[in-house]
């Protein structure tokens, strides 16, 4: 859909001139410097935007949006570009706003356990700053070195420790965002509790930059947990796997910080078949789990951890366990689970999916998906792992091709069964462009209508990440 007919090339170049004038030449990138950049990590495709604008302060970002709003210029926001749903794609008629210069950690309050940060700061930088202050930032995911706090907020990121600390939404106390018209909404309260009117920050968390651009946040920090224990275990059945989850929740209580299940097809591919990792346990079990626990008291925590596994063996919930005895061993276990590069290369061209469904339905669901995929692509490959305690599975599919038609047929196998199960087509990756046509599987027409109402109320010209998440009727916008 070409929505820019009303705008002549002159006006775009006039806008860029105006932006250079206001922000300095260095803040506006055009030409080869744009296409030399990738639009995201997964596709590696060149950025096609008309230009990339890089504000140095939240006020500069507000200036940019004010000018773009006056010119009805649509923009796409870029953070760490680690998203998986084409949420950062930009057409030649769009401007990209990159938050790469907004990467400062502005303040840490060890007493209040908060950290104030700009949206472009990488997750790992925040984790390290929290550690230096004797605390921890609880969100953690494989892309920690590249992904940004702003992207984590815009997509309501999940990751490995949701079972204990919740998603990104739970880590955000205060937030600042700029609306499509350049108005700065500053809700930077560091308060854990604040019921003074509507909690506006919730609008911007998880709406993928379509309602506003996040510029700064006050994040909640957690007490440091100096003692981390991890183990890889083999489970004899899906029943044992869910029983083990209940067992670990009960015996480790609030200390359980990860319960990451791997179907045999995942574990075996990344160890035995590919040789990318030495298998810590033999590969014939149907399920494997990385279990992690974090506590403050090393000695007793070790005892509690070991006992939890001993009693699990007695109850037949696992058949074998490799308990990490060092940080290096622990990293080795996680390396299998986090080897997304391996997965992508082994299944290339890979299609990745991120769904949720009731835990009790997972085994049958995966079998059903596998059967359907086999029917169409007998030599295709399905690999399954996920955050079991969160009801969240990641499915990776390689069928030798990923053209639009193939992709759609694979998507049908994955998504259609979710409707009856009350599952979700997106659990932590978001909707972006990729899942927009499947939103109806998880959302009612009434829900989607309210989403459109919100978009219209806050961005009536649909200038922010246009047509991401939901399509917008632009009849009223011009």
Residue 111 binds its own copies (CB under 8 A): yes
CB of 280 vs its own copies, minimal distance in Å: 28
Written as six digits, the tokens of 110 are 């060890």
For residues 16 and 51, the answer to whether their CB atoms sit within 8 Å is yes
Task: Report the site for its own copies in 59-98 (rule: CB under 8 A).
Answer: none
Residue numbers 252-281 binding its own copies by CB under 8 A: 252-255
Strands 227-235 and 213-220, sheet pairing: unpaired
Question: Smallest distance, Å, CB 153 to its own copies?
Answer: 12
Q: Which is nearer to its own copies, 322 or 355 (CB)?
A: 355
For residue 373, give the nearest of 216, 265, 222, 235 by alpha carbon. 265
112 lies in the site for its own copies, by CB under 8 A: yes
| b/e per residue 205-223 (b: at least 16 CB within 10 A) | bbbbbbbbbbbbbbbbbbe
The answer to whether residue 442 forms part of the interface with its own copies (CB under 8 A) is: yes
C-beta of residue 185 within 8 angstroms of C-beta of residue 211: no
Residues 303-332 that bind its own copies (CB under 8 A): 304
Nearer to its own copies by C-beta: 197 or 275?
197
Binding residues among 380-399 for its own copies as defined by CB under 8 A: 387, 389-392
According to CB under 8 A, which one of 116, 231, 430, 464 is a site residue for its own copies? 430
Q: Supply 389's token pair.
A: 């305690």
Site for its own copies in 329-368 (CB under 8 A): 356-360
Check residue 150 for interaction with its own copies (CB under 8 A).
no
Strand partners, 291: 231, 259
Q: Which of 17, 92, 422, 473 binds its own copies (CB under 8 A)?
A: 422
Among residues 144 and 164, whose Cβ is nearest to its own copies? 164
**Interface positions, 161-220, toward its own copies (CB under 8 A):** 162, 164, 166-167, 169-170, 179, 183-200, 202-203, 205-207, 211
- What string of DSSP letters covers 49-117? -SEEE--SSHHHHHHHHHHHHHTT--EEEESS---SSSTT---TTSEEEE-TT---EEEEETTTTEEEE
8 Å CB contact between 139 and 171:
yes
Chain position carrying tokens 């030449």: 25
Told to check if 433 binds its own copies by CB under 8 A, we report: no
Q: How far is the CB of 272 from its own copies (least distance, A)?
A: 31
């Amino acid at each position: 859909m070409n929505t820019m007919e009303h705008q002549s090339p002159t006006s775009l170049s006039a806008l860029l001139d105006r932006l250079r004038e206001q922000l300095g030449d260095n803040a506006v990138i055009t030409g080869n410097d744009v296409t030399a950049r990738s639009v995201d990590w997964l596709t590696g495709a060149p950025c096609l935007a008309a230009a990339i604008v890089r504000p140095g302060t939240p006020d500069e970002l507000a200036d940019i949006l004010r000018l773009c709003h006056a010119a009805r210029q649509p923009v796409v926001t870029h953070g760490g570009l680690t998203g998986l749903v084409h949420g950062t794609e930009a057409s030649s008629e769009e401007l990209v706003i990159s938050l790469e210069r907004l990467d400062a950690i502005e303040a840490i309050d060890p007493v209040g356990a908060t950290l104030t940060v700009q949206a472009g700061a990488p997750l790992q930088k925040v984790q390290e700053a929290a550690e230096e202050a004797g605390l921890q930032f609880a969100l953690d995911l494989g892309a920690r070195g590249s992904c940004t706090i702003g992207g984590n907020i815009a997509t309501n990121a999940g990751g490995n420790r949701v079972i204990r600390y919740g998603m990104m939404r739970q880590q955000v106390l205060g937030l600042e965002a700029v609306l499509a018209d350049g108005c700065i909404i500053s809700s930077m309260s560091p308060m854990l509790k604040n019921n003074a009117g509507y909690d506006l920050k919730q609008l911007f968390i998880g709406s993928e930059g379509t309602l506003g651009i996040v510029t700064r946040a006050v994040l909640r920090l957690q007490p440091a947990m100096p003692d981390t224990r991890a183990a890889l275990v083999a489970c004899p059945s899906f029943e044992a796997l869910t029983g083990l989850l209940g067992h670990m929740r009960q015996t480790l209580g609030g200390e359980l910080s990860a319960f990451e299940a791997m179907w045999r097809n995942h574990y075996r591919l990344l160890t035995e078949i590919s040789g990318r990792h030495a298998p810590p346990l033999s590969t014939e079990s149907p399920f494997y789990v990385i279990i992690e626990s974090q506590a403050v008291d090393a000695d007793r925590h070790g005892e509690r951890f070991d006992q939890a596994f001993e009693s699990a063996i007695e109850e037949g919930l696992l058949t074998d366990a490799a308990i990490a005895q060092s940080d290096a061993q622990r990293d080795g276990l996680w390396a299998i689970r986090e080897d997304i590069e391996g997965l992508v290369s082994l299944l290339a061209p890979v299609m990745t999916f991120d769904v949720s469904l009731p835990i009790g339905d997972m085994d049958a669901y995966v079998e059903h998906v596998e059967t359907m995929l086999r029917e169409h692509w007998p030599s295709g490959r399905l690999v399954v792992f996920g955050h079991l305690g969160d009801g969240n599975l990641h499915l990776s599919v390689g069928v030798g091709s990923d053209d639009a038609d193939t992709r759609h047929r694979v998507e049908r196998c994955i998504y259609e069964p979710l409707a009856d199960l009350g599952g979700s087509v997106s659990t932590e990756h978001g909707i972006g462009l990729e899942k927009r046509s499947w939103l109806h599987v998880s959302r009612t027409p009434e829900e989607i209508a309210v989403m459109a109402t919100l978009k219209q109320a806050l961005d009536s010209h649909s200038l922010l990440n246009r047509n991401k998440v939901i399509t917008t009727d632009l009849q009223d916008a011009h």
